[in-house]
Amino acid sequence: MYHDPVLLNKCIDGLNINPNGIYVDVTYGGGGHSRAIMEKLDTGKLIAFDRDPDAINNAMDDDRFIMIDQNFKFIKNFLRLHGFQKADGILADLGVSSHQFDEAERGFSNRFNANLDMRMDRKQALSAAEIVNSYSLSELNRVFKNYGELKSSYKLALEICKQRETAEIKSTSDLNDIINGIFPKTRINKFMAMVYQALRIEVNDELDVLKSFLKQTPDILNPGGRLVVISYHSLEDRLVKNFMKSGNYQGKIEKDFFGQPQVDFKVLFNKPIIPGEEEIERNSRARSAKLRIAERL
């Protein structure tokens, strides 16, 4: 196992596993959460999704386990293709795994000099380098403003457009040099993280994938089935929180003619579950994790 799973016990408790039930892990990664689910199963099945070749190669060899090499935004179609109409629990551990961050050549981290890549699915064409070298000024501004929540988004976009006129921005070092020239040194790590997050979300279409996935979960889950989601930044967490509460991304609960709330889920905890200091010390990725759990009505 190459990935220390975040909030492992809380996730497993949250799924409330029936040993003979059907479970889905839409972000298999290093398989840490999946292995813990499998330990609780008897005749039950676990279906996992991942597009990363490293994750596929790390798949478990077990008759009760099915690995699907697809984007989890297609969850309903591919579950049905494999003969599953319904599930008793769905787990999503969003974002990038520690393993992906630690693999220098993937370009997810500003710690290493590598090609600006950031593709979860290496078969797709769009990479971070493609974005910084071909997007217009207004498109770059949109990415950094909306996905990085950067106040200096326009300034950064303008500087990138200037620099690429002289030479292509190919590597993380090229990008880091630009970031270093714009943002204050005292908080440079935070700004770098925000810039890299913005590019990664755009490369992998992460927020639209999340929306598409969430929208399908009420149809897939049996009554009493659990939806368990870990997010790592406010953009994801807001979508998850609002969807679980109201069934839409604005968080506005619709009511029927009689004033009864029209909701698909019961939110089990009003506040997100966060890791303790010990876990954060052991696994720095856990620092920003927020876990939300809801039960299908």
* For range 15-21, the mean pLDDT: 98
Rounded Cα gap, residues 230 and 35, in angstroms: 17
Can you say whether residue 247 is alpha, beta or left, with left for phi > 0 and alpha for psi between -120 and 50 degrees? left
Output the pLDDT for position 95: 78
- φ/ψ of 255, rounded to 5, equals -120, 150
Output the pLDDT for position 257: 95
Q: If you average pLDDT over every residue of the chain, what do you get? A: 94
pLDDT band at 107 (very low <50, low <70, confident <90, very high): low
Handedness of CA 107, 132, 196, 119 (dihedral sign): negative
Q: Label residue 8 exposed, middle or buried (CB < 10 Å: 0-12, 13-18, 19+).
A: middle
* For range 238-253, the mean pLDDT: 97
Output the pLDDT for position 110: 67
pLDDT band at 98 (very low <50, low <70, confident <90, very high): low
Q: What is the pLDDT of residues 73-82, one digit of tens each?
A: 999 999 999 9
Q: How many CB atoms lie within 10 A of CB 23?
A: 26
* For range 80-96, the mean pLDDT: 96
- The fold of the 8-98+206-296 domain, in CATH, is Rossmann fold (3.40.50)
Per domain, the residue ranges of the chain are 8-98+206-296, 110-204
- The fold of the 110-204 domain, in CATH, is DNA polymerase; domain 1 (1.10.150)
Half-sphere exposure at residue 69, Cβ-oriented, CA atoms within 13 angstroms? 11
Output the pLDDT for position 1: 45
* For range 135-163, the mean pLDDT: 98
Output the pLDDT for position 99: 64
Q: What is the CA radius of gyration of the chain?
A: 20
* For range 211-238, the mean pLDDT: 98
> Which candidate, 80, 100, 84, places its Cα nearest to that of 28?
100
Q: Is the pLDDT of residue 189 over 60?
A: yes
pLDDT band at 178 (very low <50, low <70, confident <90, very high): very high
Rounded Cα gap, residues 103 and 224, in angstroms: 39
Q: List CB contacts of 189: < 8 A, sequence separation 6 or more.
A: none
Lowest-confidence range among 1-15, 78-92, 153-167?
Answer: 1-15
Q: What is the pLDDT of residues 32-58, one digit of tens each?
A: 999 999 999 999 999 999 998 889 999
Q: List CB contacts of 256: < 8 A, sequence separation 6 or more.
A: 262
Rounded Cα gap, residues 137 and 124, in angstroms: 23
pLDDT band at 3 (very low <50, low <70, confident <90, very high): low
